[in-house]
Amino acid sequence: VTWFLRCTLWASGLAAPCWLLSSGYQDVVASAAEAVLAAFGEVVRIREIEIMSPHDLGMFVAMCLSSRNAPWRERRRAMLVGAAALFVIEVLTVVLSIVLAFGDPAGGFGRVQTAAGVSAVLATIPWVGAVLVWLPLLGHHELPPMVSVAAPAK
């Protein structure tokens, strides 16, 4: 519970700078996605994206800073590794959403017809990324009692 309260405070504090940085940061993600698509021979110009980042990064950093049971060195390493992983997830998610939205209907998963379909793919960034990256890096420091209780006993 204290971890969750610390996380709430950190995340709330980091929300404002994340909001201020969001436009510039999303341009960087868009440029990286363009580069990935260009590497596969697809020339795409992304004018603007709305992917609710870097709030995912802010939440991840808040989760790491709140994880006081982990040594500082491990938290620092987790923040560096996790931030890089989240950036990769953001870029790949944008690339995937573009492929699904504008790809060849005959190939792969086919073309997604609705804007909400693309939204569902892009939702990976806000709803999944931060927690899934934090859990294997630092989750075991904060959740062991609960995890042990949840594990089916024989």
Partner 1 sequence: VSGPAGKRAARRAPRPGRRAPRQILIGFVIRFAVGWIVSVLLLTRAPRLERLAVETTVAQLTGTARVLGFSATGVGNRVLVEGVPLRIGPDCTPTLPIVTLWLAVLTFPATWRMRILGLALSATLLWIYNLARILALLPVLRWKPGWFSVAHSYLWQTATLLAILGIFILWLRMQRPRPAA
Positions that interact with partner 1 (CB under 8 A): 1, 4, 7-8, 11-12, 14-16, 18-19, 22, 52, 55, 58-59, 100, 109, 112-121, 123-124, 126-128, 130-132, 135-136, 139-140, 143-144, 146-154
CB of 54 within 8 A of CB of 25?
Answer: yes
Q: How far is the CB of 55 from partner 1 (least distance, A)?
A: 4
Q: How far is the CB of 17 from partner 1 (least distance, A)?
A: 11
Q: How far is the CB of 33 from partner 1 (least distance, A)?
A: 18
Taking the least distance from each CB to partner 1, the nearer of 80 and 147 is 147
CB of 41 within 8 A of CB of 99?
Answer: no
Taking the least distance from each CB to partner 1, the nearer of 79 and 122 is 122
Q: How far is the CB of 18 from partner 1 (least distance, A)?
A: 8
Residue spans of beta strands (DSSP E) within the chain: none
CB of 106 within 8 A of CB of 50?
Answer: no
CB of 121 within 8 A of CB of 93?
Answer: yes
Taking the least distance from each CB to partner 1, the nearer of 38 and 128 is 128
Taking the least distance from each CB to partner 1, the nearer of 21 and 28 is 21
Which single residue is written with the structure tokens 């603007």?
48
* Residue 43 burial (10 A CB sphere; 0-12, 13-18, 19+): exposed
